Structure 1
């Protein structure tokens, strides 16, 4: 059997942010698709998002939802690209009309990691430790367990954040483990933060693929690279975020994964920004979506909306 000619090949355009991590994720998706389809040519189209352009303000100050996705979504809607690749934790659960979350390849590590050149684990940090992070969730989860920690805002790409650790004399910074692993910077990690204590962001460690509704041709191309277990887990997490109206501007985490006995475990966490009011629900079962619904109902009954500022 001869290889398909160029005339027979199908070209698909994938939209990506320009950061090193974003391009790693996009190239990973492209490689998976090309491996699954011999007759496919992939073109990567890069662009800057609002979140990439404004680095001197915190994420909530910029505007919260969609700051890393809007420009890619505009390209999707205009057919300038066929699909967009995101860090799933950046993809809102309420998408523009006509767009949909199409799924994810297999998820990487979902945890957060502590990076420090002064201390070997989080329990060694002094009571007045200065921690740098741009995440309200990470700050609130740390404050809930270490109420005397001090915090500094941290934005920029992975390399820039690591440079600031020593430059500004921080005791530690906190970042997603998956980002460091994907960029082959695992040796910078001092310790991973346990996901059952420091519940990760919704979708953390997963790549999110977004497409236009009605693009059955694109869905058919994506089908072989999607990971069923990952999609089930992150879909449950996104239900928690959607039902609690969460996003970058509120302290909310959800993490769903398989257990050793073949079932599922879901941790859902909400807290006040100062870490003084915290709710944490843990459920096990066989249906991630049903577990997400139950977790939300319990959290709402216990006052989650008030804690998150929705009442």
Structure 2
């Protein structure tokens, strides 16, 4: 059992959804009041594969990770022998998609994605996670998320296009962005770092800004349902693309493992930032991958 405050047992001994339990029907209805104009923004990076143009290298990703591959059965150049006829002169193009989503595209982490010792979130045995999938805390437990999104646009608050690679966001910086998150909110944290990719891949790979451990604890103490960010790991990364914190301060362990807070990573938040809206309706639904450690997603902001 972990030593610092956590949500183990809070929602029952069998719970596999963590703080998503706070998104009750009443909380969802209350969140819908955050929409004012009805404009819908996608917060996802595109998935560009082997048959798409431009090439997949134009999308931010962690170095060395296998990129998504998208194949289409149109001209026989990919996984099938061409578009199949369906009668009356019609033709159909099919798709095949291979995605290793962690570190390569916009995705949601399941509570089984990371743990310490022999237990997952809520004390579920880590032995339940195997090559055939996780029988506890898999991404299929999420279903759909509809909540009030709260944007913490830290670089805009500081007058910057993006935070420096070594910047670690403090609780005070989150508090200065406002508004105060409520239980069940989705905390959306902008660093601006994905825009660096367009300038230089090597700069993008030199490290990443992100939440400090204390900022993660600040959000967890406010009972947010989800933490989402445009960086690759919620917390910051060093030049080796690794988190520098020890186990006690690792953001994934603080949020996923101890508090049952799901994470959404590698968002594209530039258009949302330009709207200067701090509150909106946040909608996301991962694929129902049984036993999956995560899923690619297309989060939406309803303004």
Q: TM bucket by the smaller chain?
A: under 0.3
The TM-score normalised by the length of structure 2 is: 0.23
Larger relative helix fraction:
1
Higher RCO structure (Cα 8 Å, ≥6 apart): 2
The TM-score normalised by the length of structure 1 is: 0.23
